[in-house]
Structure 1
């Protein structure tokens, strides 16, 4: 047990050591004397307890006799007890004028690892665990904290940090509540903070976990439940950087598509200009060909003596000579088909 009552006041074993883990021996001796006088009382069953304060294990209170007490029978690992001591001192340092409680019993029957009573603002409940809670109990706690306007701070043991590329569902749940998932390393006395970041790269969804370690003795907790450090700012900077990187990549891809579009349009324009030029030259060539053919026709008309040529049946010479004059004057459309066919027959011969 880490708390008991002395003269009706709650005392805590974590007050027996300083932040470096060194005992205040005068307090130890004082509490041992009071325990010998049966003045240290269990907060749950009211039975007398004694103080165990050795050099290897964390100090604790225990019953003199075997009694039916749930708190007295509760066994805690040294890792959990060291972690609670580190957190207790961090809260004392963070809130020197506030009430700090260990194993605080909430009105709904649940317990908080540490509890800060903040008369001028929201209370803070610290939930430090070496194992994950079932999601039903986790939801129950979060719902109660929300209803009672209590700020929850969830912390995990270092063995729950699997050092994988993503956080577990439980760790993500904590991150969504607190802005990060924090692991307490009681051996190194440091806090490892992690934040799972999802982002878009080249149009694909990706993720990364940003982490940073802090000496627990250099950390303090703010009244909003966040640690006073640069971790949250770093996470936001990384998110902004990743978003800006993707925006630059999207802009680059848009610029490439725009360049390709302009190139395609330019190719279409050039092909259109080329086709128009080819059509113009074709028309010019046709015109020159027509002019040449007209010239050849005129030349041949001049060489034929239509006054002496033998005429077939149905062709009158006077009409023929008149048709020749019309051809020379570019009035070919006025000549009948029979006379026109005959004239061209003569030209070809």
Structure 2
């Protein structure tokens, strides 16, 4: 695999070439959002020709790669037969459901890092870049949801270089992205290096995106996470969000944060006015309320998925929070939503 200089490609009017690596269980939204913006910005009209840039899906073999949703995509070529690329984009997805990047993929990433190519990690693609050893000294952006997964897998990583409160980070020839819709923003930021802004804006409008977000735009945190919150409290809340179905004890939270249980309690009271246990309970109650109005799950199933022992337990806690039973809450919100849709 070889690469050409990005600057020379742009200066000579040549195509900007993207090599896209799909990891097992990759996120389809992240991949399709990135590629679709390239497609729309690459040509005029509705032709979808690779005029301004081109993209190739590469892999260790031509065996189809399964996305997390079950759709399979076959690489167009192998690493050995791949053409030259200006950007090597690694798209990740699920972390805990099977094999991740194989040794051939890691070697491909390392080879790209020795050239002038820019490496792009989308979603958990950043984990593969870390495994390949090509992120030393670079800032790495991950989703807030995968913050602790990252630190657990890479304990020697410098925490000061880990960014979990921004959509994406561009650091020299390394670009990492939190995933999801932010993949469109990353594609826009890359294209703005090489083509006119009006072309990129047109592509965004076709995708019904008002405007691309900048890298310093904040990730959409779950309820309760505010930028001014103490870092230890913010991380504890992230852990609570990640373990809604199996709540961590106060002792385990404190251990993971490297503080004492008493210190964590003091921080929570100062920042939120609640104890860690009370705050965690509120997160689980709010999650249950959301599931009651956005899913068809039974109250018993929702109770289990939100860390309550049974439907009765959820019912007691729900009445304390909302003054009504889960069933009444679901019926009232469903009727309200139906009435609003009829009026429209």
TM-score by length of 1: 0.25
**Highest RCO, 1 vs 2 (Cα 8 Å, sep ≥ 6):** 2
TM-score by length of 2: 0.26
Q: Which has the larger radius of gyration?
A: 1
